Amino acid sequence: MTTDRSGEGLAALASDLRTGERGPMRYIGTVRDRIDARDGDIRAWVDDGKSRAWLTAEADALTERYPEPTGSSSDEPTRPPLFGVPVGVKDIFHIDGLPTRAGSSLPADALAGPEATAVRRLRAAGALVAGKTHTTEFAYFAPGPTRNPHDLDHTPGGSSSGSAAAVANGTTPLALGTQTVGSVIRPAAFCGVVGFKPSYGRIPTDGVIPLSASVDHVGTFTRDVDGTALAASVLIDDWAGVPGAADDDAADTRPTLGVPVGPYRDQATEAGERAFRAALDSLERAGYDLVCVEAFPDIDEVNERHNDLVASEAALAHGEWYDAYPDRYADATAELIEEGRASPVSTLVRGRRGRSALRESLAAIATQAGIDAWVAPAAPGPAPAGTDDTGDPVMNLPWTHAGLPTVGLPAGTVDDLPVGVQVATGFGHDERLLAWASALADVVADAA
């Protein structure tokens, strides 16, 4: 594939826009040029994103509000952290002025709702919503039109396919997605970008069409870990800052990494396992301590419990819509809802209780083994061929079920397709995870 996927890291771009090294109106023009030139085959953006005139007017209004660059001697208000940064938003988030279709054929009026808190926080930080990005239907498995920027004949992953592909294709430096099983970390791996899923609940999900409220997470896609931390600082509740910013010793601390062994790892493909071992070799050479830990001996039970929970809660979330528009749901989504409706209440209770039980179990194992974080394959392998399936989220599922903060890092390529690793740590320790992630990303970047 010859598509030019060049694009800026979010952190450096945001700094340039705040300090006046770049002008937001000119950069918006660059973004629109890229979408026009690059998105015809990739199809990451719903309706091609906002028009040039619309975005230019928003950038102009933002500049009028914050006319002076950060660091000037003016008494004008300081430019906010994401001043002028264009953002892609998965089409299950409500955004004032844009319809929500959720990758479905249901009427937009039926799905309408107040703007998502995550979107409001981005706007308050100076970001410009460049448009909506494609999703699988209702963030489940029925694929959207998006293609993988690295090979059009391979899936970009799901369900946040458009967000991952837009960042990978250089048409936005930041995009929002969601993860209910593996819908941030997996497409990030398939598209070769950084994906971040925070601890459950640390980014509000109100204003986002739910799939399974007990395990839905809002997450981000960027090209750089520093950019991920910048976005997290705006989006996450009670953000405490990335440790080490003013403390070199803390910044240089290397975590001891737990490597799961057992049936969980057996779910990876041969190619995926080889790539993961290459990443582990790179980490060892860089001086990281790796501890092999028996984890998830009951992974089949965890997988079943999580999938049953998603089905039960999808049936609750979509009850009224499904009753009103049963013929407009894709077969896969309809089957999920019907499965959830047929499940006893005990299935729902079991799934919800299982989340905290798994979280506590992983914390106890980590303490006993003396590890600070877990490292695992971000997907079973590189993106599968074909676009009728979004790939298997099974490697992401237990971390999502436990609600642990997880970052997905590019780790080289297999047959010219990206692969990644995911790193997870204790619940609520998102800031520490992102402090470690920058150095980890540098080590594994070309592992495979």
Catalytic option among 104, 161, 163, 183: 183
- Please state, in angstroms and rounded to a whole number, the distance separating the CA atoms of residues 442 and 283: 10
* Burial class of residue 374, CB neighbours in 10 A (0-12, 13-18, 19+): buried
Known catalytic membership, residue 90:
yes
Of 429, 382, 392, 425, the closest CA to residue 406 belongs to 425
- Please state, in angstroms and rounded to a whole number, the distance separating the CA atoms of residues 110 and 242: 41
- Please state, in angstroms and rounded to a whole number, the distance separating the CA atoms of residues 270 and 276: 10
- Please state, in angstroms and rounded to a whole number, the distance separating the CA atoms of residues 399 and 83: 33
Known catalytic membership, residue 132:
no
C-beta separation of 169 from 41 below 8 A: no
Of 144, 133, 71, 146, the closest CA to residue 100 belongs to 133
C-beta separation of 197 from 185 below 8 A: yes
Catalytic option among 104, 159, 199, 212: 159
Hey, is 395 helix, strand or coil? coil
Of 191, 175, 188, the closest CA to residue 5 belongs to 191
Known catalytic membership, residue 159:
yes
Hey, is 351 helix, strand or coil? helix
Query: What is the token pair recorded at 448?
Result: 């495979």
What are the catalytic residues? Answer: 90, 159, 183
